[in-house]
A and B are shown apart, each in its own frame.
Chain A
Amino acid sequence: MGRITLSNVTKSFGDVEVIPPLDLTIEDGEFAVFVGPSGCGKSTLLRLIAGLEDVSSGEIQIDGQDATDVPPAKRGLAMVFQSYALYPHMTVRKNIAFPLRMAKLDKAEQDRRVNQAAEVLNLTDYLERRPGQLSGGQRQRVAIGRAIVREPAAFLFDEPLSNLDAALRVGMRLEISELHKRLNTTMIYVTHDQVEAMTMADKIVVLRAGHIEQVGSPLELYRAPRNLFVAGFIGSPKMNLIDGPEAKKHDAHTIGIRPEHIAISAEKGDWSGVVGVSEHLGSDTFFHVHKTGLADTITVRADGEVSLRHGDKVYLSPRLDMIHRFGADGLRLS
């Protein structure tokens, strides 16, 4: 089982406080995703949970047991590194069996578990190869295999897919989600990728400079971002943020409206502007509309069939029920 609780955890490197006091609970069986800008402390937080870094103060509990001073090997967690960290001189079989060998399991049991993991991860044909003879996706699967054979209480992933190409990433994303559904083990997953966060998570933890900005399910974060930072961070393309008189009309300091909640028309609408760059994705088109008098650029999502050209004058109508209002302090007004 793997319920992980952090209470008042801090981490400093020398004088630099990377993680200010932080509380977080990850329930057993949950898929938690840490997102945040580069350098915000996601990896550090993960390494604190893993035990690879010592906390400066505070307490980490795993399943109700204090694990703050427990060495990494004894925490019952498995980690998949961004660089995979496979052992280059061992075959795939030996790589996957390594944790079992360290745990002194008998040979037959080791083989059974390795074969089982290899089957699950489609690695059976590669067991006798070395990591250097595998593709990126296969290496990734070996790293996951090495993690699952130990039957850990929780898995920790640090940007495991960031070295893969787009197509492979989609495939591996599904495989990891599938694995989570099957094993029902707690997983903590660090990523930069919006889509990974939104599609895989039960719970997203948005971090900024070591602070937790918001914790919630993907849809909660999407529908009700707690502040401007989360509003701008979750969703792709980003939410349009508008200050000034337009916001005043809604009794707010800033209002936010997502590109998908604005209708675009060549004839009439609430706001007007001039089409700049349009990004055609096939199914959708994103128009960047300028000269609206509201913000530099307003991004609008339209159906892929809508055809407007650079320089066309257009009208925009936001869906009033989808407007997010924020106060001068950046917090959401309900």
Chain B
Amino acid sequence: MATKASRSAARLMMAPAVVLLLGWMLVPLTMTLWFSFRNYLPLRGGDQGFAGFDNYVRFVTSSAFWPAVLATLFIVVGVLIITVVLGVLLALLLDQPMWGQGIVRILVIAPFFVMPTVSGLVWKNMFLDSVNGLFAHIWRFFGAQPVEWMIHQPFASIILIVSWQWLPFATLILLTAIQSLDSEQLEAAEMDGAPALKRFWFIIIPHLSRAITVVLLIQTIFLLSIFAEIFVTTAGAFGSKTLTYLIFQRVLESQNVGLGSAGGVYAIILANIVAIFLMRIVGKNLDA
């Protein structure tokens, strides 16, 4: 913007948005930080003054902390691997000209529009239930003992449900990336003697690398905070408690806001570590 007047006008116009955004992010963050240093037990005497670093120490030394961190990472990594691998394959498939393409594409995207609570319940009761679930019937059909998914395979169940929800997102982004690949490049590779698998590996995957990076980063941000899928399925039992879920329990079930807030701060730190780590590995794909 060229003139001084237009520049200050622009600032004025942008101010409301900036203030709103700042407030939106800063207020909860400062409140979390504030409460994390307080001894705040809403049903047991309320705010009882400063606690120093007590909350932080108690949160990490609790026996549930490290398992929760590991569970979080395990679920995030599992879902990322499944969604990216299947997403690439599905995108390749959907890119092929076929009959009913429009409808198929909409169907593939559909799971993304189902609310997490709903999909969690549907999966739990209709597919994974050990008596009446679809999977139990399949298992029995082959003469096998139905699996108690929630009890024996809590991670597999949660990863399955969350992957089902996020696969459309990955597929959609990867599909648009595949569509932007110049078909002459593939033809050139074909003439250069590369069979289909090598074309996939040497041409398509490098072309997709940037889109894959985007999928990984965005999904990580959202997956670190999954909650509803756990709440309605295992409710954090059988070792499937993630950091988010642990914080929820500390605040609501134990009625300890200070301890939960300290957990929240740890969650922020964990998210940033994961993000930096991811950026390091895949970030070079984003420069070019």
Interface residues of A (CB under 8 A from B): 50-52, 71-73, 77-79, 81-83, 85-90, 98-99, 102-103, 132, 146, 150
Give the residues in chain B near A103, CB-CB below 8 Å: 193
Q: Check A79 against B191 for contact (C-beta < 8 Å).
A: yes
How many Å lie between the Cα of A81 and that of B184 in the bound state? 7
Task: Find out whether the CB atom of B194 lies under 8 angstroms from the CB atom of A79.
Answer: no
A87 touches B190 (CB 8 A): no
Count how many chain B residues have C-beta atoms less than 8 Å from C-beta atoms of the other chain: 19
Answer yes or no: B239 CB below 8 A from chain A CBs: no
| Contact present for B203 and A87 (CB under 8 Å) | yes
Q: A87-B202, A102-B198 are in contact. Are A79 and B188 (CB under 8 A)?
A: yes
Which of B182, B189, B192 contacts A83 (CB under 8 A)?
A: B182
- Number of A-B pairs whose CB atoms are under 8 Å? 61
Give Cα A51–Cα B187 distance, bound, in whole angstroms: 10
Given contacts A87-B202, A89-B207, contact A52 B191 (CB under 8 A): yes
23 A-B pairs within 8 Å (CB atoms) are namely: A52-B190, A73-B191, A73-B192, A73-B194, A73-B195, A77-B191, A78-B191, A79-B187, A79-B191, A85-B187, A86-B185, A86-B188, A87-B188, A87-B189, A89-B206, A89-B207, A89-B288, A90-B206, A98-B189, A98-B194, A102-B193, A132-B288, A146-B188
User: Which has the most chain A C-beta neighbours within 10 Å: B187, B192, B194, B207?
Assistant: B192
Tell me what chain A mostly uses at the interface: helix, strand, loop, or mixed.
loop
- B188, B190, B207, B209 interface centre (most CB from chain A within 10 Å): B188
Main secondary structure of the interface of B (DSSP, over half): helix
Measured between alpha carbons, how far is A51 from B191 in the docked complex, in Å? 9
Instruction: Give the distance in Å from the alpha carbon of A82 to the alpha carbon of B185 in the complex.
Output: 11
Residues of chain B within 8 A of A82, CB atoms compared: 184
Residues of B within 8 A of A72 (CB): 187, 190-191
Asked whether B207 lies within 8 Å of A81 as measured between CB atoms, the reply is no
* Set of chain A residues within 8 Å of B191, measured between Cβ atoms: 50-52, 72-73, 77-79
CB pair B198–A85 under 8 Å, yes or no, is no
Query: What is the bound-complex CA distance between A265 and B206, given in angstroms?
Result: 66
Report yes or no: B193 in contact with A85, Cβ–Cβ below 8 A. Answer: no
Cβ–Cβ contact B184 & A99, under 8 A: no
| List of B residues within 8 angstroms of A79 by Cβ | 187-188, 191
